[in-house]
A and B are shown apart, each in its own frame.
Chain A
Amino acid sequence: MILFFYVILNGTALFLFTKIKKRLHILEIAVYWMLASYFLQNFSALCLLNFKTIIIPDRQSYEFAGYLNRSILYPVLMVTYLHVFLIISSSLIKFFLFIFSVFLLTGLEWLADYVGIFSHVQWQIWWSFLFWSTALTGLMAIMKFFRLKLYRGERRFY
């Protein structure tokens, strides 16, 4: 049931992402998606294997759901954030978008904890806010760097 719910959730997020008219180049989407997934997987591995601050139950359906979230849901939301960030011109609205995205991603993370996909162990909630803030900020920095390389010689970049 949990796996089914997350398959639907991931599929919906992916479907909606394909439908929006994006400001990002397809190569940018690929790079940012992969980097977001890589960052999430490594941090998850560190917390699971080294720091022991999360526990993943030994149930394959839950583990598959977690894998789908790390590979599809969180990266697609982070790339969508970048897309919307580029559309908005007002700095104030960009700031509120950033706050909303951090809360959304933190909420999804704690939803996963609530349904049992993984469990936080001695984890402070502000660590989640800090993690997602860092992840989004890092991705924005990567976007700035990659767009300079991709559009080198062109006048248009963010």
Chain B
Amino acid sequence: MNVSFDWNDWFSIFSSAIMFALFLLIKKYFPPVIVILIWVFNSVYVSSVDYFLSVSPFHLYYFGDNPTFEMSAVLFHLFMYPCASLLFLYGYDKGKLDKKKRLGTFCFGQDLRCFSNGFV
């Protein structure tokens, strides 16, 4: 099992912590059941697609800097992506987002950060 700690792991910790902190600012906007549903859906969706594409059956990439299943992947699945989705939904619901201008930017912003850091 991988136990080395490098920039990839710090990146995942910082990203997850920042997104979670931002989520705490808006956590009361949605009812608890909705938050649970969206959180679980996001975690499962991301981890399923990651497992499907990276591990079995397609082997297209690996998450992080080595082929093992790291804690950084868990942090992203459990915190970063669900919080980002909830923040997006908050903005979409409250601010009536213009789909053309903001939808693509917000949704792909997170993965672009990951790619630019060589995380995926």
> A residues bordering B, Cβ < 8 Å?
27, 30-31, 34-35, 37-38, 41-42, 44-46, 48-51, 56, 60, 63-64, 66-67, 71, 146, 149-150
**Complex CA distance for A8 and B40, rounded to whole angstroms:** 28
Q: A50-B69, A66-B56 are contacts. A41–B51 as well, Cβ < 8 Å?
A: yes
Closest Cβ of chain A to B51, distance in Å, is 5
Known: A50-B68, A63-B56. A41 touches B36 (CB 8 A): no
Docked complex Cα distance between A46 and B69 (Å): 6
Q: A-B pairs with the 7 shortest C-beta distances?
A: A63-B57, A34-B44, A45-B69, A49-B69, A63-B56, A50-B1, A38-B44
What is the bound-complex CA distance between A56 and B40, given in angstroms?
A: 27
Interface size on B, residues (CB 8 A): 21
Asked if B51 and A37 sit within 8 Å, CB to CB, the answer is: no
Q: In the bound complex, do residue A34 and residue B55 qualify as a contact, i.e. CB atoms below 8 Å apart?
A: no
Chain B residues near A38 (CB-CB < 8 A): 40, 43-44, 47-48
When C-beta atoms are compared, the residue in chain A nearest to B66 turns out to be: A49
Provide the bound-state CA to CA distance between A45 and B55, in Å.
8
* Cα–Cα distance between A30 and B34 once the two chains are bound (Å): 12
B37 within 8 A of A: yes
